[in-house]
Amino acid sequence: MVAFTERPRTAGSLSIEGLSVRYGQHTALEDISLDVRPAEILAVIGPANSGKTTLLKCINRTIEFIPGARVDGRIALDGEDVSGIRNVFELRRRVGMVFPLPVGLPLSVFDNVAYAPRLTGITRRSDLEEMVERCLRQAALWDEVKDRLKTLGTKLSGGQQQRLTIARALSHEPEVLCLDEFSIAVDPVTTMRIEDALLELRERMTILLVTNLVQQAKRLADRTAFINKGRLVEIDTNDVIFSASPANQLTYDYVNGLFG
């Protein structure tokens, strides 16, 4: 029997200090410093092209796939500098990533979720079945696909494929789950199902949520960071960010739709 790995409450902490990213002459992020607390949902909001996705890419080092990208500063996962982690695949297991559009493997629903556990050496069918069911339930997808586990994942609807992508990310048992505009291509009902799942997952992992939907950040997050033109304008609890008196007038203007 494969049980979910219970992590200490200190696991999944992120510390970002002086992070700057440049693509050639273009500055995507400038001197970003913030902490992400274990087992919280931190939303990152801001206008398009403000650097939100770049921030996520730096955390699990997928920024290294971009030619000419220059990264300065420090990101620590549970106190360990991610730039010094030699096994980048292990880093990306610990920091799961879900992109705006579903990225399904050309495999069955079952094998999409079982792929990573098999790579780690789990081969017993009963263990794989338990893990696949758990991850699909956590992604609010099990009831819809439990009788179609042999169906190609790419045959599912767009919303189901996005939840399958989340289930696959969860199969790595990450400490941190990064979601980049997960609801951009799914319907409102599916969005609400995923949001409910994320609120439950917060008890087991840290969630970093990039979203252009201010109301989504307000519904889900414990704290929200507002980034504009590559700079961190403000980070605080939602009670402050979405109140009538955040610390920065620019924050108030953005969350109230006065620009963006």
**If you ran DSSP here, which 8-state letter would residue 108 be given?**
B
- In the prediction, which pLDDT does 203 show? 84
**What is the number of other CB atoms lying within 10 angstroms of the CB of residue 56?**
23
Residue 147 is part of a domain; what is its CATH number? Answer: 3.40.50.300
- In the prediction, which pLDDT does 10 show? 57
* Structural domain contains residue 207: yes
Over residues 162-190, mean pLDDT: 91
* Structural domain contains residue 85: yes
* Structural domain contains residue 5: no
| pLDDT of 9 strictly over 70 | no
* Structural domain contains residue 8: no
Q: What is the pLDDT of residues 190-247, one digit of tens each?
A: 889 889 989 999 888 999 999 999 999 999 999 999 999 999 999 999 999 999 989 9
* Structural domain contains residue 7: no
* Structural domain contains residue 4: no
260 is written with which tokens? Answer: 């963006």
- In the prediction, which pLDDT does 1 show? 42
* Number of compact structural domains in the chain: 1
3-state secondary structure 217-259: HHHHCCEEEEEECCEEEEEEEHHHHCCCCCCCHHHHHHHCCCC
3-state secondary structure 3-38: CCCCCCCCCCCEEEEEEEEEECCEEEEEEEEEEECC
Query: Which residue, among 55, 152, 138, 128, has the nearest Cα to 97 in the 3D structure?
Result: 55
Q: What is the pLDDT of residues 41-75, one digit of tens each?
A: 999 999 999 999 999 999 999 999 999 999 999 99
Helix H or strand E segment including 46: none
* Structural domain contains residue 2: no
Q: Would you give the distance in Å from CA 146 to the centre of its chain?
A: 25
* Tokens 């610990």 found at: 94
Q: What is the pLDDT of residues 100-143, one digit of tens each?
A: 877 778 999 999 999 989 988 888 999 999 999 999 999 989 99
Domain span holding position 199: 14-255
* Structural domain contains residue 6: no
Sheet holding 80-81, edge to edge: 26-36, 14-23, 69-77, 80-81
230 is written with which tokens? Answer: 């590559």
Amino acid at the residue 101: L
Helix H or strand E segment including 109: helix 109-119
